[in-house]
Amino acid sequence: MEGTILIVDDNPSVIESLALYLKRKVGKVLSTTNPKKIPEILQKEYIDIVILDMNFDSTDNSGKEGFFWLKEIKKIDHDQVVILITAYGDVELAVEALQKGASNFILKPWDNQKLLATVTSGLELSKSRRELSALRLQQNQLKQSFNSKYQSILGNSPAIQDVFRMIEKVAPTDANMLILGENGTGKELVAREIHRQSSRSKGIFLSIDMGTITESLFESELFGYKKGAFTDAREDKTGRLVLANGGTLFLDEIGNLSQAMQAKLLTVIQNRELTPVGGSESILIDVRLVCATNRNVHEMVANKVFREDLLYRINTIQIELPPLRSRGDDKLLIANYYLQKYAEKYGKQNLSFSSSAIERLMAYHWPGNVRELSHAVERAVILCEGKIIPSGDLLVQQHNDSINLIDKPLSLNEAEKIVIASSLKRNKGNLSAVAKELGVGRQTLYRKIKDYEL
């Protein structure tokens, strides 16, 4: 049987006899005569069953030590299966211990068949408790997903209507999807709408920003890990891919994955199974994958920085979101939506935009798209002192210079500063990406950032 058992008894001959028999029946048997080592062992090892003696002091047969260490074990892991080993005269103590969290007890001297039956049921109990714990975690994630306030995609422009029609066509299928678009265009909203209209809508929608996951944490976050897999792995962790079983997994900023991370993800997608870090058993997964990026992933393939075979796997269907600047009157529609939202949030009812404010928001380029518009409207609501939001409260002028460089005379240094600032914003401060985009060396870029105080 698979599993690890820890025997804790002050009598070496008892440990030897138990271990000799159980090693032929169970995957791994550990032991100690010193109960003070229990916490250390439980932190380092994945233990399915602790077989715990009731008395460690020959002068005291009250069972107090057994109760104490049972309590300590439960503090470390409430779900830990503990089987007591006790003499005939301690049966009443054992029954009391069952009431305090022990799972079963073994009598000294023991019958091997009864011992094996007790250990077998203990291993099954341990497995079911772990599975239940993972299920609870998945349900909590599911509740959070469902309880989060859902925001619909707004818009009447032809460009966004094309997106709506594409969603209606592909959502009922189980095809993997790739959503392309600039930052702030609503890629996660589209992913959520695809999930909502799919046959997986009753399952979990789980979103992960791949740009925030370092290479060292990639496997443990996506695949999970077993207790004891590394120094800080004090309990099992279910990976995001397993948590999303039966539902939809949204991987945002997929273009930020390194080549090594791409290879690992591709293997899991192809095989539809994974092995947690430190684990030995594969877990089958059933998720719909929706990925997104603001980068030109096809150009990345041509430049050999993104795997072509992975791209084929994630973009059975591709949706490209239009930037806000190309959506016409949708700007005002979305602005009014956020105006109502933030007016309610800040207790300022019956707000409206002045004609000059409407003219400004319609004329502005919105390089940050809907996200930037949302922030601008929130600031305007906070700053507004009356019922009409003037154009002066719609603070967008600071971005106009970077959009309309030809509208006013600029020195070469001023133009260079604007271009570098725009690239820094577009690449979220990634200096390597900025240097590559602008065609300059990193040292040159560092110097110019310092000179221009960016």
CATH superfamily of 149-320: P-loop containing nucleotide triphosphate hydrolases (3.40.50.300)
Could you give the C-alpha distances from 377 to 39, 155, 367, in angstroms and in order? 54, 17, 15
Strand segments, DSSP code E, in 236-354 are 237-238, 248-252, 273-274, 283-284, 288-293, 317-320, 352-353
Q: What is the pLDDT of residue 412?
A: 77
The one-letter amino acid code at 37 reads K
Q: What is the pLDDT of residue 157?
A: 92
CATH number of 4-129: 3.40.50.2300
pTM, two decimals, is: 0.59
Owner of token pair 């997986």? 200
Residue numbers of the chain with a pLDDT score lower than 70: 58-61, 88-89, 134, 136-151, 397-410, 428
Q: What is the pLDDT of residue 77?
A: 86
pLDDT in tens, 422-452: 888 777 677 778 888 888 877 788 778 877 7
Owner of token pair 């991987």? 251
The domain ranges of the chain are 4-129, 149-320, 324-401, 411-451
Q: What is the pLDDT of residue 137?
A: 67
Paired with 352 in beta bridges are 388
In 3D space, the residue among 47, 99, 94 whose CA is nearest the CA of residue 73 turns out to be 47
The enclosing H or E element of 32 equals: strand 28-32
Q: What is the pLDDT of residue 166?
A: 95
Same fold, 324-401 and 411-451: no
Q: Enter the tokens of residue 163.
A: 């997106």
Q: What is the pLDDT of residue 400?
A: 42
Q: Is the four-CA dihedral 240, 184, 368, 258 of positive or negative sign?
A: positive
CATH number of 324-401: 1.10.8.60
Residue 317: HSE in the Cβ half-sphere, 13 Å Cα cutoff: 19
pLDDT in tens, 64-89: 888 889 999 988 888 899 998 887 66
The domain over range 411-451 is classified in CATH as 1.10.10: yes
